[in-house]
Amino acid sequence: MRPGAPTRNGKGRGPRRVSSERFMPRIDTVLLDRDGTVIVDEHYLCDPARVRLLPGAGQALARLAASGARLFLVSNQSGIGRGYFTQVGHLAVQARLEELLCEHGVRLAGAAFCPHAPDAGCPCRKPGLGQWEALRDRHGLDAATTAVIGDKASDVAFGHALGAAVTVLVLTGHGEQQAQSLGLPPLAGEAMDLTGETPDGRPWPDVLARDLAAAVERIVGK
């Protein structure tokens, strides 16, 4: 969280701090991970019939959109590069997701995805910045007013790498396991602000939230 936030990686000051609520910068752009954050994480999803919004996700995104934020999906879809499904299957899932969001009055401003396998060395697999750069250049996005929400440490690292104003780890999808791997304290309440990093220097998310609705509540404010 910047500017004005305490440095998140004050080396030597100890890695762990749960802070009381900090100033929340104005957010007009939200980059959303897809699987485990907006929809139920199905292993290598390519069947549109199996797309299910996580509980409360549609309402949460409606609230976020009503606050004036533009919503974008950023997603690693290595199943394409691994040959498990095609880009056509991916786009069918994307269309179904947009249909489900439409029922909540939500329209995405854009979406990016990485179709490559993890070992391809591409620049667009999160936490690489390719998806951000494409969306930023196309839509004129500003990292200083951007929030990143995801269920994996790679989403958090992606947010920090692009200089996002706020990074949020949600506990849906892989979130619980990822929070453990980052050594985060147990969640108190629906969402809480954090400052810290792992012993090997991976920064913590700025906010830990129970789910997308709690993340939106923290971003949009009371």
214 binds Zn ion (CB under 5 A): no
SS3 (DSSP) at 187: coil
Size of the site for Zn ion (CB under 5 A): 5
Q: Are 21 and 59 in contact (CB under 8 A)?
A: no
**Would you say 35 or 217 has its CB closer to Mg ion?**
35
Instruction: Pick the closer one to Zn ion by CB: 124 or 219.
Output: 124
126 makes contact with Zn ion (CB under 5 A): no
Tell me, what amino acid is at 192?
A: M
Dihedral sign (CA 13, 19, 23, 28): positive
Residue 166 sits in the site that holds Zn ion (CB under 5 A) = no
The three-state secondary structure class of 65 is helix
Asked if 183 and 16 touch (Cβ cutoff 8 Å), the reply is yes
By beta-carbon proximity to Zn ion, the closer residue of 36 and 128 is: 128
DSSP 8-state class, residue 22: P
Among 24, 117, 122, 161, binds Zn ion (CB under 5 A): 122
Does 179 engage in binding with Zn ion (CB under 5 A)?
no
Residue 151 falls in the annotated catalytic set: no
Q: Which residue has the tokens 């996580």?
A: 54
Q: If binding is defined by CB under 5 A, does position 114 make contact with Zn ion?
A: yes
* Chain residues that interact with Zn ion, rule: CB under 5 A: 114, 116, 122, 124-125
Active site positions, annotated: 33, 35
